[in-house]
Structure 1
């Protein structure tokens, strides 16, 4: 990502509605779909500045890899995980350690070789382990936001499933999320394009609006797996070897 994107992430992921609500979604997916042992080993591949590490640490002992030097230093300074340099697909790191859960959270869209990256992580799953993937969805929503964050692609439901299958992984559960706010997001992106606005789409809104958006998005944690949303800004998949 651009340096400005990492700077924005570090500044906002503690309070911005999207980051806070997404952590609630991730926590719900783990609790509802991943049966972890008491001594679970967890890897976050591509941890950025480490905003998800404290959440993941609630579920087990966490290792994390990150390519960017400055982001990695910030993540390591949080003191909740062992953080090493790494890059997908060729450098997962941590020797031959196997994991009960590998989290790949809005990372796959950044790598050139998505199939090879999933295959590399498949080889690091422990027996019965799961790979939790989240990615941006709906290719026709491509915008300057994707360019700023160095996305290579946005995924469709079938497209993500196809990449997983080609990597030798089975889909245990999958679906769209960030769906309740989808109409608002589409309208916002259309307005940005029509008016040629340069303000970033991920700027934190006013406190009252930030709270409202967080509540709406986080409410989906009670629905995933029970309601199959037909579309959403993001996709999740829980994969097994």
Structure 2
């Protein structure tokens, strides 16, 4: 994938998700036991996830290649000595970060990268031995629709495919779980059938009224499928 299209599209789908506080906290709470030391988030957007990560990291590096999102990220952490922001990808800084990171986070990013196998190999190279990659991606290929294409998604995943791909690189799979079962029906209705786009009003409603209930349910019973996959691997 060339850098130019990445810089053009990346971040547009994050703008409407900026207020999804319950959703973001749920993701980070799942990741929390593995967040330690020098942490990096790739595709940090305007910094909503990074703002949560910094509470658990000794230091945080936030990568954002998008020309329209990086200024927001930069200004947000300009006076935060704990956070370093970089206007680039991990690949673009690979020499600086070889075996340098304890934890790497990709939240709704890996699906934007055409060669995800190569990106996982880059992650493996950047992590210290025993380090963890915490990955959150869209799930279920049958949900792939025009909206996915518009925001630059190359794919949606199945758990087994992520596990096979990461083990091929040399990772150990720690946790792979489907996430947000309740989100499947709205996605099918609004994005697959009605071909709508993401808007902040719908995001706010879902985050406020549906996510708290879904989180309680999925804590008690692991869903057999979900709109997303939460995936944790170790070098």
Same fold (TM > 0.5): yes
Q: Quick one: structure 1 residues 200 and 21, their matched pair in 2 at CA, closer, same or farther if it must change by over 3 Å?
A: same
The Cα of 1:89 is off from its aligned counterpart by 4.0
The count of aligned residue pairs is: 225
User: Structure 2 vs 1, CA of residues 28 and 126 (structure 1 numbering), >3 Å: closer, same or farther?
Assistant: same
Q: Structure 1 residues 215, 2: CA separation in 2 closer, same or farther (over 3 Å shift)?
A: farther
Which residue of structure 1 lines up, in the alignment, with residue 228 of structure 2?
234
Matches within 5 A, 1:70-89: 70-79=68-77, 80=80, 81-87=83-89, 89=91
User: What is aligned with 2:41?
Assistant: 44
Q: Superposition pairs for residues 1-241 of structure 1, below 5 Å?
A: 6-7=11-12, 9-10=14-15, 12-15=16-19, 19-31=20-32, 33-34=33-34, 36=36, 40-60=37-57, 61-79=59-77, 80=80, 81-87=83-89, 89=91, 91-92=93-94, 94-96=96-98, 98-193=100-195, 199-205=196-202, 211-219=208-216, 223=219, 227-241=221-235
* Structural RMSD (CA): 2.6
Deviations 1:27-77 (A, max 9, x none): 21123x4263xxx21000121222211100011111011211221121111
Taking structure 1 as the reference length, the TM-score comes to: 0.81
1:2–1:149 contact (8 Å) kept in structure 2: no
Give the Å deviation of 1:116: 1.1
SS class of match (2:230): strand
Q: Which runs of 5+ in 2 are unaligned?
A: 1-5
| Structure 1: unaligned runs, 5 residues or longer | 194-198
